[in-house]
A and B are shown apart, each in its own frame.
Chain A
Amino acid sequence: MSKNSSHPLEEPGMSSRFMEPCILVIFGATGDLTARKLVPAIYNLAREGQLPPQFACVGFARRDKTHEQFREEMKEAINSFSRVKPIDENLWSTFKEQLYYHKSEFHEDEGYDRLSTFLTDLDKKLGTKGNRVFYLSTQPSYFTTICEKLHKAKLIYEYENSPSWSRIIIEKPFGHNTESAHQLQSELLKYMDESQIYRIDHYLGKETVQNILVFRFANSLFESLWNNRYIDHVQITVAEDIGIGTRGAFWEEAGFLRDILQNHMMQVLSLVTMEPPVSLEARAIHDEKVKVLEAIRPFSREDLDHAVVRGQYDKGIVNGSKVIGYREEKNVNPQSAVETYVALKLYIDNWRWAGVPFYLRGGKRLPKKGTEISIFFKDPPCVLFQHPGMKNEPNVLTIRIQPDEGTSLKINCKVPGSSNFIQPVKMNFRYGKYFGMAPPEAYERLIQDCIYGDNTLFARQDEVFSSWNLLSPVLDHWANNPPKDFPNYPCGSWGPKSADDLIMNDGRKWRLL
């Protein structure tokens, strides 16, 4: 079928989507992401009957390995990291026959030629019809090389006039600043069409992130309050209790802003603040996201000093255990100036959000893991129930993205009895309790969407550029002004004091997770 027309057996407007046969090739198949996320996700899709009947997955990496060895390693990975354990042996006996391994260097032409032959053979054997998804789970520096080689080996088809399709999934980060993102984009466009590029941000595959749009636009109750008349400010937090683990070398290159803020947090921000799209078509949603990202006020020179805070963790205590500081981590420069924490305040200069501050913060080695959006509503106009010396708490709507996915609303309530004491209480909706099932992993949804050819939950080029346009000046400023106080927060705390000052200077405080 052509890419845009629906299948004759598909009823328009109904939920079923047609999945075409295909082969998924994972570049960097011996890496952590493949074992922890990608293969368990594919296994779970198979377990739930969500893969095309004619399907294969080929791991592409530099190490010597047989198909059988790769399968055994992946079985172990599924047993360790799948959301459903232990592995279903019956299913595995079928599933493993769909797993293959291809050894090659990323820059080696001959390896791609062999890959092409191998995939053609699999097409004949499995009926996968030449359709391809190439998942680039490698270091960003290999992205263009792999695409160039795939193109040269004729594995990337022309978008318009080919009987089969090929798509590329690219892991973040897409560039490391505005300039490099543009450069990467122009390189990729030499070999493929923009519509073949799927920039993955696994946050967008999370149920709770997808639910933001449903929550906002399927409930008149909240959307009518979703503006500067009723909202005092918004906080977005991405907290991790873990450190950088074995990824010292990567972090020394990336840092928190590039790894988390520029992509995950900006995507979440855009979903929280965008205008309603005219339809649920991918283009309509992307257009609205870009509009709002472009409406973010650029940081002034003064803002760079006062509205953006960076931090780096020092030794401390997390979950009752003593843990080392960032500079003591493996493969980290003992004098490193890389940030493991960022907090910032920004404004969106449009009709809806004028004057509403957005506080974003996130970091490694914080007291607990948690990603959430908190909408703080303005105080009611009267002070009927203000007890002397006591201020009522604002209403807060919190959307918990992970863990304990759900939504809560803090409201004020009268304490039972004859006096008018008021106390905040919480209404809590929990996905797990209500729907009684574990939501699918983000990667399951995203891989499936790519096979469908639906890029709604992937980042479009202009979204990435807008985000870099905002944040590249921050990185430049930091590069020119090395931090003087690093490390500046102990593991297990909520970040540096300067982050508290950032919000407290406005008479507000960070919400405790």
Chain B
Amino acid sequence: MSAAHIVAPSKIQSELNDLWSSMENKNKMRASLFNLIFYTKKSPRDEYIRRITQKIIEKFPARIFFISTDTSSTEDSVKTAVSIMSAEQGEFDVTCDFIEISATSASEYQVPFIIMPHIVPDLPIFLLWGEDPAKQSPLREQLEKVATRLIFDSETAEDIIVFAKSILAIKEKSKCEIADLNWARLESWRDLLTAIFNDTNNFNRLKKVHKLKIIYNAQETPFFCHTRIQSIYLQSWLASRLGWTLLGSSLEGDSVCFTYNNATKNKVDVTIESQRHSNLPPGLIVSLDLADGENETFHFERNIEALNEINCSYSSSVTTTIPTKLLIAKGESGQSLVKEICHKGTSNHYLEIVKLLSKMESSGIC
């Protein structure tokens, strides 16, 4: 990434033009497939959002607007800077415009006016809102009006149930596509389970499941402190797909328990348990066990030496299979994550889990 040039808002375009003129004959290719607006409050997490930016442009170059708000300042001032961000891949370096806007709480109202003239027409506008959507934000409401896709990160949620209600409310009034980073991170698990239970026999076994246990990495980092969300999403997805009815939820130490009635009115117990691995990404699902009342068990366990490997085994009272090694996409950094964020429409499965979560009592499960 080139050094940031601090400029007045009125000089953003001319400064970018100058920057690009200086790049001529340097094997740089200017590209933009969409407008990508990031918003975050100034915090250590800011750095994490920048990393996501880098990942996205490695796959899909975009004109990037990076808004950060310093909530500790009371000044009514906005600083703008421009630079060129590089995908740093290949002989021809694909590069993008990077427009940085540093605001304060008092000056946030100016931000849409600064961004609006610099949107690349005709291209989609993605808004990655790096804050809890449950909190009212006039800035978000303004940006939502022009966005074609809203990307939220449930990691920012103070309460996942309130978050879910907010997502539904936003979906109700906005015509935008909605994506969620944590839902996107689960894509590899969803694909794997879909593949395993694709045949009728296995799916019938899945329908009879009475116990579901998920173990996840509860090791927090400065960027991640709600490590349980992916696991909650995964069990909610299974529950909604299998037509389970929620009976209750409870928090027991580090574990969360959910109780459902399945489609045949039999009880299903779901347990989400934590482990701590400092070398694994926070929130990562380490293992998944599905068991029915007749000692039939599916066991999925991640190889913590090779994170895209899942060992899968099945056992019953009469048979045990040799564990099979399955490869899954690298959900954290791969193209699939970016595609999930940027190109898929609003997932109905996601909306169903959000609906399910929104019906829960707020009990501090996350």
Tell me the A residues contacting B by CB distance below 8 Å: 241, 316-321, 367-368, 387-390, 393, 396, 398, 408, 410, 415, 417, 419, 421-426, 492-494, 511-513
Q: Is B331 an interface residue (CB 8 A)?
A: no
Interface residues of B (CB under 8 A from A): 8-10, 33-34, 60, 78, 80, 110, 113-114, 116-117, 119-125, 146, 177, 335, 339, 343-348
Please tell me if the beta carbons of A320 and B80 are within 8 angstroms of each other in the complex.
Answer: yes
Are A320 and B9 touching (Cβ within 8 A)? yes
Please state if B123 and A368 are interface contacts (CB–CB under 8 Å).
no
Contact A390 B344 (CB under 8 A): yes
Q: Report chain A residues within 8 Å CB of B125.
A: 512
Distance in angstroms from A261 CB to nearest chain B CB is 22
Question: Shortest Cβ distance from A438 into chain B, in angstroms?
Answer: 15
A421 to B344, Cβ gap below 8 A? yes
Is the beta-carbon distance between B110 and A419 smaller than 8 angstroms? no
Are A317 and B113 within 8 A (Cβ)? Answer: yes
- Least CB distance from B329 to A in Å reads 11
Nearest 6 pairs of A and B residues by beta carbon: A320-B9, A390-B345, A389-B345, A319-B10, A368-B117, A421-B343
Q: List 30 A-B contacts (CB under 8 A).
A: A241-B117, A319-B9, A320-B8, A320-B10, A320-B110, A320-B113, A321-B9, A321-B10, A367-B113, A387-B344, A389-B346, A389-B347, A389-B348, A390-B177, A390-B346, A408-B121, A415-B60, A415-B339, A415-B343, A417-B335, A421-B344, A422-B343, A423-B33, A423-B34, A423-B124, A426-B123, A492-B116, A493-B116, A494-B116, A511-B121
B34, B78, B114, B121: which contacts A513 (Cβ < 8 A)? Answer: B121
Which residues of B lie under 8 Å from residue A408 when comparing CB positions? 121-122
Q: Give the docked Cα–Cα distance between A493 and B143 (Å).
A: 12
Q: A398-B121, A419-B339, A426-B122 are in contact. Are A320 and B33 (CB under 8 A)?
A: no
User: Which residues in A have their C-beta under 8 angstroms from that of B121?
Assistant: 398, 408, 511-513
Q: How far is the CB of A161 from chain B (nearest CB, A)?
A: 55
A388 lies within 8 A of B345 (CB): yes
Nearest-neighbor residue (CB-CB) of B13 within chain A:
A368
Bound Cα distance from A122 to B352, whole angstroms: 85
Chain B residue at smallest Cβ distance from A511: B121
* Other-chain residue from A320, A367, A410, A422 in contact with B78 (beta carbon distance below 8 A): A320
How many angstroms from the CA of A317 to the CA of B116 in the assembled complex? Answer: 11
Q: How far is the CA of A492 from the CA of B335 in the complex (A)?
A: 37
9 additional contacts (CB under 8 A) given A320-B9, A320-B78: A319-B10, A320-B110, A320-B114, A389-B346, A398-B121, A417-B339, A492-B116, A512-B119, A512-B125
A512 to B35, CA, bound (A): 12
Which of B9, B113, B146 sits near A316, CB closer than 8 Å?
B113
User: B346 — which chain A residues lie within 8 A by C-beta?
Assistant: 389-390
A27 to chain B, nearest CB (A): 36
- Complex CA–CA separation, A396 to B123 (angstroms): 11
B114 to chain A: which residues have CB within 8 Å? 317, 320
Which applies to chain A's interface (DSSP): helix, strand, loop or mixed? loop
Partner of B33, one of A410, A425, A494: A425
Identity of the chain B residue whose Cβ is nearest the Cβ of A421 in the assembled complex: B343
- Kindly list chain A residues whose C-beta atoms are within 8 Å of the C-beta of B344: 387, 390, 421
Q: Could you tell me the distance between the alpha carbons of A388 and B347 in the complex, rounded to whole angstroms?
A: 8
Q: Closest chain B residue to A509 by CB distance? A: B175
Which of B116, B119, B123 neighbours the largest number of chain A CB atoms within 10 Å of its CB? B116
Does A368 contact B10, Cβ atoms closer than 8 Å? Answer: no
CB distance from A384 to the nearest CB of B (A): 15
CB distance from B188 to the nearest CB of A (A): 14
In the bound assembly, the distance between CA atoms of A423 and B60 in angstroms comes to: 11
Contact of A388 among B33, B80, B348 (CB under 8 A): B348
User: Known contacts A320-B9, A320-B10; is A512 also within 8 Å of B146 by CB?
Assistant: yes
From residue A496, how far is it (CB to closest CB) to chain B in Å? 13
A318: chain B residues within 8 A (beta carbon): 113
Q: How far is the CA of A321 from the CA of B107 in the complex (A)?
A: 12
Contact between chains at A421 and B339 (CB < 8 Å): yes
Q: From residue A293, how far is it (CB to closest CB) to chain B in Å?
A: 28
Which B residue sits closest to A420, measured CB to CB?
A: B343
Are A387 and B339 within 8 A (Cβ)?
no
Asked whether A317 and B110 contact (CB < 8 A) given A241-B117, A367-B116, A367-B117, the answer is yes
B110 to chain A, nearest CB (A): 5
Residues of A within 8 A of B177 (CB): 389-390
Residues of chain A contacted by B119 (CB below 8 angstroms): 512
B343 contact from A368, A423, A513, Cβ within 8 A: A423
* Complex: A389 Cα to B175 Cα, angstroms: 11
Looking at the assembled complex, report how far the CB atom of A108 sits from the nearest CB atom of chain B, in whole angstroms: 46
Chain B residues with CB under 8 A of A390? 177, 344-346
Chain A residues, CB < 8 A from B343: 415, 421-423
**Complex contacts, A493 vs chain B, CB 8 Å:** 113, 116
Complex formed: what's the CA distance from A424 to B123 in Å? 6
Chain B residues with CB under 8 A of A492: 113, 116
A398 to B146, CA, bound (A): 19
**B78 proximity list for chain A (CB < 8 A):** 320
Q: Which residues of B contact A398 (CB under 8 A)?
A: 121-122
**Best-buried of B8, B123, B125, B339 by chain A (most CB within 10 Å):** B123
> In the complex, what residue of chain A is closest to B149 when comparing beta carbons?
A390
Task: Point out the residues of chain B lying under 8 angstroms from A317, CB to CB.
Answer: 110, 113-114
Assembled-state Cα–Cα distance A512/B110 (Å): 19
Give the chain B neighbours of A393 by CB distance below 8 A: 124
A364 CB, min distance to chain B CBs, angstroms = 15
Quick one: closest B residue to A320, CB to CB? B9
Closest to B60 in A: A415
The CA of A388 and the CA of B345, in the complex, are separated in Å by 7
Chain B residues lying within 8 Å of A321, measured Cβ to Cβ, are 9-10
B216 to chain A, nearest CB (A): 28
Please measure, in the bound complex, the distance between the C-alpha atom of A390 and the C-alpha atom of B113, giving whole angstroms. 29
Residues of A within 8 A of B124 (CB): 393, 423-424
Question: Within 8 Å CB of A320, what residues of B?
Answer: 8-10, 78, 80, 110, 113-114
Contacts of B345 in A (CB 8 A): 387-390
Residues of A within 8 A of B60 (CB): 415
Q: Shortest beta-carbon distance, B78 to chain A, in Å?
A: 7
Output the least CB separation between A372 and chain B (Å).
Answer: 9
B residues within 8 A CB of A426? Answer: 120, 122-123
- Residues of B contacting A425 in the complex (Cβ-Cβ under 8 angstroms): 33, 123
Cβ distance B241 to chain A, nearest Cβ, rounded Å = 15
Q: Would you give the shortest CB distance from B210 to chain A, in whole angstroms?
A: 32
Most buried by B among A321, A388, A389: A389
A422 to B344 Cα, complex, angstroms: 9
CB closest residue in chain B, given A239: B117
Q: How far is the CB of B234 from chain A (nearest CB, A)?
A: 21
CB distance from B13 to the nearest CB of A (A): 9
Across the interface, which residues of A come within 8 angstroms of B116, CB to CB?
367-368, 492-494, 512
Q: How far is the CA of A426 from the CA of B348 in the complex (A)?
A: 29
CA distance A367 to B9 in the complex (A): 12
Q: Report how far A116 CA is from B151 CA in the complex, Å.
A: 73
Scoring B33, B117, B146 by chain A CB atoms within 10 A of each residue's CB, the highest score goes to: B117
Whole-angstrom distance between the alpha carbons of A33 and B124 in the complex?
40
Q: Which of B8, B110, B119, B121 has the most A CB atoms < 10 Å from its CB? A: B121
